[in-house]
Chain A
Amino acid sequence: MSNLDIFGAILGFALTLMVFSYLIGDNPLFRVAIHIFIGVTAGFVCIIVINNVLLPRMIVPLISGSMEERLLAIIPMLLGWLLLTKISPRLATFGNIPVAFLVGVAAAVAIGGAVLGTLFPQINATIAIFDLTTSRGFDTNKGLQLVNGIIILVGTVTTLAYFHFGTGPQQANPTGLQSLLRGFNQVGQVFIAITFGFLFAGVYSAAMVALVERLSFIVDFLKSVLLPLLSS
């Protein structure tokens, strides 16, 4: 193990304990650790952006690229400079051009992808479950496939019904439609609660793996430090 590895291990051990100190409550050690992480991340991202984006994609083509590459590199450079005018309130209007470009492109990509990549395929999938001529891996039994399809359909409809926000006079004797919607709401709440429970279990599972990894690291570090001391 090199000196750099030992230094890294000591640093990691110290920072891990500093983060664990949050168990006591918010304290300076925890805040120092958090600030170190944020600072290191920001610095690292800055280096990555310079080395991986600005230099190879803009500076190098401008200096040693062909005429076409230079012209293509001028456009992002110009937009980048315009974006910097957002710093000054007087010149901030010029920065609207690149912002509009970014927002427009991002919105177009996201909406197009959501409609064609999620909405239509998922609607189609919900309908296709009732097509008993197709068989799926886990429910080759037609009856189970039908039950599965019904559960998914009920869950989808009732969950959407739960997000129906309406207002009106509270009637002592609600109409049939209101009673139906109320019933759908309650069933939808059950499905939402199950989903949230599933999500929470996933979050807990991810956090538990992180805890196991850190505790393993601490145990390994102490073993590597304490055992040589005890043996000597």
Chain B
Amino acid sequence: MAEINCPLCGKANPDDFEVCQYCQARLKPLLAPDSAEENSLPQDETGVEEPTSPAAAEIPEWLQELRQDEDSLELEPERSSDELAADISEATGDAGSIPTGTPDWIYEVEQETQRDFDHIEPPPPSPAEPGPEPAALPDWLESIRLGLHGTPGLASSQATEPVESTGPLAGLRGVLAADALISRSRGPATRPAKLRVSANQLVHIDLLRELVESEGKSQPLPQKPSISSEHILRWGIALAVCLAVVWSIIFPGQPAALPAFQEETAELNRLIEQLPDGGQVLVAFDYEPGEFAELDAAASAVIDHLMIQGAYLTLVSTTPLGPVLAERFIEELQPVHHYTAGVQYVNLGYIPGGTASLVMLTGNMPRALPYTIEGLAAWGSESQPVLPPLQGIQNVGDYDLVMVLVDDPDVARAWVEQVEPFISSSSPQGSLGMVISAQLEPIIRPYYDANPRQVHGFVAGLRGGASYARLNGREELVRSYWDSFGVGLFMAVLLMLVAGLMYSTYPLLTRPSKSDSEVKG
């Protein structure tokens, strides 16, 4: 069997194959050149082949007549330019008459201008300045020029060129027959219907299709192991700490010693000790319920001391949940001190406006906080006198001590910035004390260490509360937490040491020994 080589990949294929069996390229063109058809192509006067339309037989008669008329016009014998000029003059009338379409006055102006120019004679050539002489051409160039212009064949060919009969170029000879080239439409070139795609391109197509399709599909997340080493580590730490704490709660051993003297705690203790009988203290409960364990433990000894001193307490809060925490706190100490709402203490509730509202306390407190949390008129009315804790109070500067229980650094700083300058300036004995979360100590301590002090004493966290309780001999207030707290801290330190030891020694243990590396080498 005869074979045919693929034009694309060059491999041999049987000659009856339409496409290459290797690369799918077409072996034979879809429209093979037909010699008979090629010969039958008509040629127009410009020599451009005109493809015969397969539907010529179906052309209606009226269109055929139009085409015959058109052909007869095209086949009209060519006329010379003189003949065309004569035709133009005939169309426009006599040569001396006014051309059609030109206004009379314009024609007259043109004629006068022409006459004026006719009077002017060209100046005679100056003998002193002769014109440039024609250059003498070499013989070979002269022969070329003669060959171009003096060839008889060229003149005859120009004479045989057609003269344009229509349009703006009418009368000119040798105009290209644009009409024949442009106006005659040719059918679109027939292209092969099948793409020539190589095997490499097919691979690329498949790859692109896979990429596009994968874009729309959700990729499954990598399956995580249900129990990883991280889980085990977390559970191990939690179990160790929780077991230690629970063990110390269930089986309390020898009670641990409470922390020793702390200057800031002792300073706060001194301020409370120096309160006058029936001294008035403003207590702000500015912490969230999540921190109540630490703040209650730290503040219990301080509030207990205030109650022992018989101070009148005014409770406020800049957080919405603060008033409830305050009530709960007082309730827990109630069995010992029997403080009564509206008598020994008053809860003025929530101060709206956040930290900016603290400025109100330095102004007119009766206007800023007119009612108690029970809805009573705190500052008295026609039927009710002013409540005892608020007698003589108009602003925060009238209190003997302002005590803030706070867990938020911004709120703590706002109390120092907004209230303390007013307290210091308005009353020499007025003081600002704080019971803070342990995490706030680095922030509050600079205010205590400043000179003059901006915070006159503070208790930080359970450690500070335990220290304060020890000063007053009220260790039972913090004892329930202190021992377990110590065990938990001990366990945390132990875990840190073990982890640090493992972290530092693990690389040493896993490093290949010198003998092993020498053997491998």
**Residues of A with C-beta under 8 A to B375:** 51, 56
Closest A-chain residue to B242, C-beta based?
A215
Stretch of A4-12, A42-50, A161-169, A175-183 lying at the B interface: A42-50
Can you list 27 A-B contacts (CB < 8 A)? Answer: A23-B238, A48-B350, A51-B375, A57-B352, A109-B356, A113-B417, A113-B418, A117-B420, A117-B421, A118-B416, A124-B450, A129-B451, A136-B451, A137-B267, A198-B442, A199-B442, A202-B438, A202-B439, A202-B442, A203-B439, A206-B438, A208-B488, A209-B485, A212-B249, A212-B488, A215-B246, A219-B250
A195-211 at interface with B (beta carbon < 8 Å): 195, 198-199, 201-206, 208-211
Q: Is the CB of B359 within 8 A of A109?
A: yes
Q: Is the CB of B294 within 8 A of A116?
A: no
Q: Is the CB of A117 within 8 A of B417?
A: yes
CB distance from A213 to the nearest CB of B (A): 4
**Residues of A with C-beta under 8 A to B274:** none
Q: Is the CB of A45 within 8 A of B294?
A: no
Cα-based distance from A116 to B359 in the complex (angstroms): 14
**Residues of A with C-beta under 8 A to B257:** none
Among A117, A124, A203, which residue has the most Cβ atoms of chain B within 10 A?
Answer: A117
Q: Is the CB of A109 within 8 A of B418?
A: yes
Is A150 interfacial (CB 8 A cutoff)?
no
Is B346 interfacial (CB 8 A cutoff)?
no
Is B290 interfacial (CB 8 A cutoff)?
yes
A113 with B245: in contact, given A53-B352, A205-B489 (CB under 8 Å)? no
**Residues of B with C-beta under 8 A to A105:** 356
Q: Is the CB of A205 within 8 A of B439?
A: yes
Number of residue pairs across A and B with beta carbons under 8 Å? 150
Is B22 interfacial (CB 8 A cutoff)?
no
Q: Is the CB of B293 within 8 A of A117?
A: no
Q: A48-B321, A122-B450, A206-B294 are in contact. List 7 more A-B contacts (CB 8 A).
A: A53-B352, A110-B355, A117-B421, A202-B438, A206-B439, A210-B290, A219-B249
Cα-based distance from A138 to B355 in the complex (angstroms): 33
**Residues of A with C-beta under 8 A to B421:** 116-117
Among the listed A44, A128, A210, which residue makes an inter-chain contact with B293, where contact means beta carbons less than 8 Å apart? A210
**Residues of B with C-beta under 8 A to A113:** 414, 417-418
Q: Is the CB of A125 within 8 A of B450?
A: yes
A72-115 at interface with B (beta carbon < 8 Å): 105-106, 109-110, 113-114
Cα-based distance from A23 to B242 in the complex (angstroms): 12
**Residues of B with C-beta under 8 A to A106:** 354, 356
CB distance from B354 to the nearest CB of A (A): 8
Q: Is the CB of B350 within 8 A of A202?
A: no
**Residues of A with C-beta under 8 A to B484:** 212, 215-216
Closest A-chain residue to B352, C-beta based?
A53
B387-441 at interface with A (beta carbon < 8 Å): 407, 413-414, 416-418, 420-421, 437-441
Is B142 interfacial (CB 8 A cutoff)?
no
A212 with B439: in contact, given A134-B451, A202-B461 (CB under 8 Å)? no
Is B492 interfacial (CB 8 A cutoff)?
yes
Q: Is the CB of B263 within 8 A of A138?
A: yes
Cα-based distance from A101 to B291 in the complex (angstroms): 33
Interface string of B105-131 (1 = CB under 8 A from A): 000000000000000000000000000
Is A39 interfacial (CB 8 A cutoff)?
no
Is A41 interfacial (CB 8 A cutoff)?
yes
Is B480 interfacial (CB 8 A cutoff)?
yes
The interface on chain B, measured as residues whose beta carbon lies within 8 A of the other chain's beta carbons, has a size of: 63
Cα-based distance from A215 to B370 in the complex (angstroms): 41
**Residues of B with C-beta under 8 A to A211:** 241-242, 245, 488
Is A121 interfacial (CB 8 A cutoff)?
yes
Is A52 interfacial (CB 8 A cutoff)?
yes
Q: Is the CB of B438 within 8 A of A205?
A: yes
Is A25 interfacial (CB 8 A cutoff)?
yes
CB distance from B409 to the nearest CB of A (A): 10
Q: Is the CB of B350 within 8 A of A53?
A: yes
5 smallest CB-CB distances across A and B, nearest first, come from A117-B417, A113-B417, A202-B439, A213-B293, A125-B450
Among the listed B297, B370, B441, B462, which residue makes an inter-chain contact with A56, where contact means beta carbons less than 8 Å apart? B370
B428-473 at interface with A (beta carbon < 8 Å): 437-442, 446-447, 449-451, 454, 460-463
Closest A-chain residue to B487, C-beta based?
A212
Cα-based distance from A168 to B170 in the complex (angstroms): 78
Closest A-chain residue to B350, C-beta based?
A52
Cα-based distance from A123 to B131 in the complex (angstroms): 101
Cα-based distance from A113 to B454 in the complex (angstroms): 13
Q: Is the CB of B438 within 8 A of A117?
A: no
Closest B-chain residue to A113, C-beta based?
B417
Is B235 interfacial (CB 8 A cutoff)?
yes
Among the listed A23, A45, A52, which residue makes an inter-chain contact with B349, where contact means beta carbons less than 8 Å apart? A52
CB distance from B447 to the nearest CB of A (A): 8
Q: Is the CB of B463 within 8 A of A205?
A: yes
Q: Is the CB of B321 within 8 A of A41?
A: yes
Q: Is the CB of A23 within 8 A of B417?
A: no
Q: Is the CB of B417 within 8 A of A209?
A: no
Cα-based distance from A148 to B375 in the complex (angstroms): 52
Interface string of A124-166 (1 = CB under 8 A from B): 1100110000101110000000000000000000000000000
Q: Is the CB of A215 within 8 A of B438?
A: no
Cα-based distance from A219 to B250 in the complex (angstroms): 8
**Residues of B with C-beta under 8 A to A41:** 321
CB distance from A168 to the nearest CB of B (A): 34
A210 with B446: in contact, given A134-B451, A215-B245 (CB under 8 Å)? no
Q: Is the CB of A23 within 8 A of B294?
A: no
Cα-based distance from A48 to B234 in the complex (angstroms): 39
Closest B-chain residue to A25, C-beta based?
B231
Is B342 interfacial (CB 8 A cutoff)?
no
Is B371 interfacial (CB 8 A cutoff)?
yes
Interface string of B278-319 (1 = CB under 8 A from A): 000000000000110110010000000000000000000000
